[in-house]
Chain A
């Protein structure tokens, strides 16, 4: 009997990647976890010490490496924070605005947000990715999945008008979208009954083309292009028709999980969602300084003495408490998206300026001291000059 490969034993802990997994790095990650720490430290040093022409390259290879070498997902690594740091690092550098790698980082970040549209709008406003087809396709996909096919179409058309590259990809995407609208097969709020077969595995349905050369082989969710002919599909649509009179409960959380699933890389949709929505609990505290939090009127209004209770007053109290809750929820929505974007775009406070390189200290997945940053640079300089003297001697 052949020996079992390492990944075979761990496969339920390996999260799929959109572009597939590299078997060599997967085996490496599973067999030598101690090497990983060393390599990670090297990457962290590179992030801070690199002073060549293309600093984004370091970030890009680090993010790719992290995905490949942490097969069970990047839960402990504060991925949204890392992506955000990457975004902030290159925001002043306009030359990266339409670099496909940078756009990918933004799109990954958007995918981890509960309300990715905020991020897409921000990208569009800043001009990040406006010449990249991938941006429009992902944005349109988000709207299509939310049931706004017209809006999706508008976005693709906008991309074509902006001459985004590669042009063909965008044109194909638009053509296919129009086809789907014509067939009425896009997910619509009016046609919720089609939701049932949405996540089931269809044998013969068409696949959506992705940016990469390899098409996905899983025929579910956003990968599936349309409810095209096929034995399984025919059955599903029939049952859909039968059930069309029945109201189907749509779980809001489940649908938002879908959004994050499409853009997220390794994190499962549910964790990605929870990371993003818990962001307010992990973000640095000083960011609160400029935020206005609505006063909770009802919370402090409790009477200090005993009140004779009657049915009417009880119902009034309940009303109050329910409004409080509504207020809290709307604040949370605000802070999880808008706050994080303001983190990205501005400093801690307009009237304050940090007189040290904040992103070098906190840039990666762990913090560095000034001396560590300096020594990382020193090591690289020594290595470079060592090579130079070596070559001059020989």
Chain B
């Protein structure tokens, strides 16, 4: 179940030199992984050869990035800009801006668009084939903290624990507006691969499993549970749950917390499948490869608390773990 770093796990070479904000596998290839970082770069790794193939300068801390296809990457930075990089030509282009730092960048395969969310309280949709300015802007009332793509829907998590569910086929109004069922700030949201619901995590050691269908019968199934807490001398330490990643084949999901642990859960049976060993620092981001054979784990201090100036945080690292069916398949 758990133990020390094993043979089925590698730590990537040439890691970002400052906080890692996101790691994401390519949509179609198990070979490429991107990592965005506070060191102002977006890196693309070839995980099979264990080397950094491309490195793009965003000239500002990068808070999120995503693959559009195997040759194009979109990134959003603290400098309020949305940029895209061409892996073939090495060219970069400024697609447009928000009014505040861009916090989330995701690709929406169903409508072939890019969505960005910002602390300015808006989401913007972009056409990747014509990257000059946003297609449309949609107000979310509060600062956008996280967002998830769920087929033709968008699930946006904002400040003040609001969850907004949009339908991309009709963005004239917000389809559903909910309060988070967790009491504290929303940290991450990811959608089920079967598109019926989403998993939501908060900064206070809790994860909720929720369903989109508003009918009471379906809503009855929603639940939340505590995790990423450790007991020490009778005191329970509660950590933020920073990352969620779904296994596309089995519908199980991994969560990563500031306790440095990664857990894999079977949401349907309400069971924990396994827990990996403790990583050197907070888990900042998680991503399964498209075929579900690998899990990328970013271990990077989140500045959840003010560090003693004399203490260096553990180095930022990205681990690629080959996961087995036993670890990820519902039992």
Residues of A within 8 A of B (CB): 51, 284-286, 351-357, 360-361, 366-367, 369-375, 377-378
Q: Judge whether B306 is part of the interface by a CB distance below 8 angstroms.
A: yes
Q: Judge whether B256 is part of the interface by a CB distance below 8 angstroms.
A: no
Instruction: Tell me, in angstroms, the Cα distance from A373 to B21 when the chains sit together.
Output: 14
Instruction: Tell me, in angstroms, the Cα distance from A356 to B203 when the chains sit together.
Output: 8
Q: Judge whether B16 is part of the interface by a CB distance below 8 angstroms.
A: no
- Interface size in chain B (residues, C-beta < 8 A): 31
A359 to chain B, nearest CB (A): 10
Which A residues are CB-close (under 8 A) to B61?
Answer: 375, 378
Tell me the residues in window 33-50 of chain B with beta carbons closer than 8 Å to chain A beta carbons.
38
**CB-nearest residue of chain A relative to B259?**
A355
Q: Do B103 and A353 have beta carbons less than 8 Å apart?
A: no
Pick out which of these stretches binds chain A: B123-131, B229-237, B319-327: B229-237
* New A-B pairs, 10, CB < 8 Å, besides A353-B237, A356-B239, A371-B63: A284-B183, A351-B235, A352-B238, A355-B258, A356-B305, A361-B185, A366-B159, A369-B185, A370-B240, A375-B78
Q: Do B145 and A378 have beta carbons less than 8 Å apart?
A: no
Q: Do B303 and A370 have beta carbons less than 8 Å apart?
A: yes
Interface centre among A284, A354, A371, A374 (most CB of B within 10 A): A371
CB within 8 A of A369: which of B159, B204, B236, B258? Answer: B159
Q: Do A370 and B235 have beta carbons less than 8 Å apart?
A: no
Tell me the residues in window 282-314 of chain B with beta carbons closer than 8 Å to chain A beta carbons.
302-306
Q: Judge whether B119 is part of the interface by a CB distance below 8 angstroms.
A: yes
Q: Judge whether B84 is part of the interface by a CB distance below 8 angstroms.
A: no
Q: Do B235 and A356 have beta carbons less than 8 Å apart?
A: no
Q: Do B236 and A351 have beta carbons less than 8 Å apart?
A: yes
Top 9 A-B residue pairs of the complex, sorted by shortest distance between their CB atoms: A356-B304, A374-B303, A357-B305, A355-B239, A352-B236, A355-B237, A353-B237, A370-B302, A375-B78
CB within 8 A of B159: which of A284, A285, A367, A378? Answer: A367
Q: Do B303 and A353 have beta carbons less than 8 Å apart?
A: no
Instruction: Tell me, in angstroms, the Cα distance from A129 to B25 when the chains sit together.
Output: 57
Q: Do A374 and B119 have beta carbons less than 8 Å apart?
A: no
Q: Judge whether B134 is part of the interface by a CB distance below 8 angstroms.
A: no
Q: Judge whether B143 is part of the interface by a CB distance below 8 angstroms.
A: yes
Instruction: Tell me, in angstroms, the Cα distance from A5 to B35 when the chains sit together.
Output: 56
Residues of B within 8 A of A (CB): 19, 21, 38, 61, 63, 78, 101, 103, 119, 143, 145, 159-160, 183, 185, 203-204, 234-240, 258-259, 302-306
Q: Do B235 and A352 have beta carbons less than 8 Å apart?
A: yes
Which A residues are CB-close (under 8 A) to B239?
Answer: 355-356
A-B contact count (CB 8 A): 71
A383 to chain B, nearest CB (A): 14
Which B residues are CB-close (under 8 A) to A354?
Answer: 204, 238
Instruction: Tell me, in angstroms, the Cα distance from A286 to B238 when the chains sit together.
Output: 13
Which B residues are CB-close (under 8 A) to A286?
Answer: 183
B123 to chain A, nearest CB (A): 16
Instruction: Tell me, in angstroms, the Cα distance from A144 to B66 when the chains sit together.
Output: 67
Instruction: Tell me, in angstroms, the Cα distance from A284 to B161 when the chains sit together.
Output: 13
A318 to chain B, nearest CB (A): 38
Which A residues are CB-close (under 8 A) to B63?
Answer: 371
Instruction: Tell me, in angstroms, the Cα distance from A295 to B204 when the chains sit together.
Output: 30
B18 to chain A, nearest CB (A): 10
**CB-nearest residue of chain B relative to A286?**
B183
Q: Do B235 and A367 have beta carbons less than 8 Å apart?
A: no
Q: Do A374 and B19 have beta carbons less than 8 Å apart?
A: yes
Q: Do B159 and A355 have beta carbons less than 8 Å apart?
A: no
**CB-nearest residue of chain A relative to B160?**
A367
Which A residues are CB-close (under 8 A) to B259?
Answer: 355
A198 to chain B, nearest CB (A): 43
Asked, given contacts A284-B183, A367-B185, whether A353 binds B236 with beta carbons under 8 Å apart, the answer is yes
A25 to chain B, nearest CB (A): 26
Q: Do A378 and B305 have beta carbons less than 8 Å apart?
A: no
A350 to chain B, nearest CB (A): 8
B217 to chain A, nearest CB (A): 27
B72 to chain A, nearest CB (A): 25
**CB-nearest residue of chain A relative to B236?**
A352
Q: Do B240 and A356 have beta carbons less than 8 Å apart?
A: yes
**CB-nearest residue of chain B relative to A366?**
B159
Which B residues are CB-close (under 8 A) to A360?
Answer: 305-306
Which B residues are CB-close (under 8 A) to A372?
Answer: 101, 119, 143
Instruction: Tell me, in angstroms, the Cα distance from A374 to B183 when the chains sit together.
Output: 23
Which A residues are CB-close (under 8 A) to B119?
Answer: 372
Instruction: Tell me, in angstroms, the Cα distance from A196 to B145 when the chains sit together.
Output: 56
CB within 8 A of A355: which of B19, B145, B238, B303? Answer: B238
Which A residues are CB-close (under 8 A) to B78?
Answer: 375, 378
**CB-nearest residue of chain B relative to A349?**
B236
Instruction: Tell me, in angstroms, the Cα distance from A361 to B306 when the chains sit together.
Output: 12
Can you offer 26 A-B residue contacts whose CB atoms are under 8 A? Answer: A51-B306, A351-B234, A351-B235, A351-B236, A352-B235, A353-B236, A355-B238, A355-B239, A355-B305, A356-B203, A356-B304, A357-B304, A360-B306, A361-B203, A366-B160, A369-B143, A369-B185, A370-B302, A370-B303, A371-B63, A371-B103, A372-B101, A373-B303, A374-B19, A377-B303, A378-B61
Instruction: Tell me, in angstroms, the Cα distance from A307 to B204 when the chains sit together.
Output: 50
Which B residues are CB-close (under 8 A) to A378?
Answer: 38, 61, 78
Which A residues are CB-close (under 8 A) to B204?
Answer: 354
Which B residues are CB-close (under 8 A) to A371?
Answer: 21, 63, 101, 103
Which B residues are CB-close (under 8 A) to A351?
Answer: 234-236
Which B residues are CB-close (under 8 A) to A370?
Answer: 203, 240, 302-304
**CB-nearest residue of chain B relative to A284?**
B183
Interface centre among A284, A355, A366, A375 (most CB of B within 10 A): A355
Q: Do A356 and B103 have beta carbons less than 8 Å apart?
A: no
Instruction: Tell me, in angstroms, the Cα distance from A286 to B302 when the chains sit together.
Output: 24
Q: Do A355 and B304 have beta carbons less than 8 Å apart?
A: yes
Which B residues are CB-close (under 8 A) to A352?
Answer: 235-238
Which A residues are CB-close (under 8 A) to B21?
Answer: 371
Instruction: Tell me, in angstroms, the Cα distance from A32 to B65 when the chains sit together.
Output: 37
**CB-nearest residue of chain A relative to B21?**
A371
Which B residues are CB-close (under 8 A) to A357?
Answer: 304-306
A273 to chain B, nearest CB (A): 26
Instruction: Tell me, in angstroms, the Cα distance from A130 to B103 when the chains sit together.
Output: 47
CB within 8 A of A356: which of B183, B236, B258? Answer: B258
Asked, given contacts A284-B183, A369-B143, A375-B61, whether A355 binds B160 with beta carbons under 8 Å apart, the answer is no
Which A residues are CB-close (under 8 A) to B237?
Answer: 352-353, 355
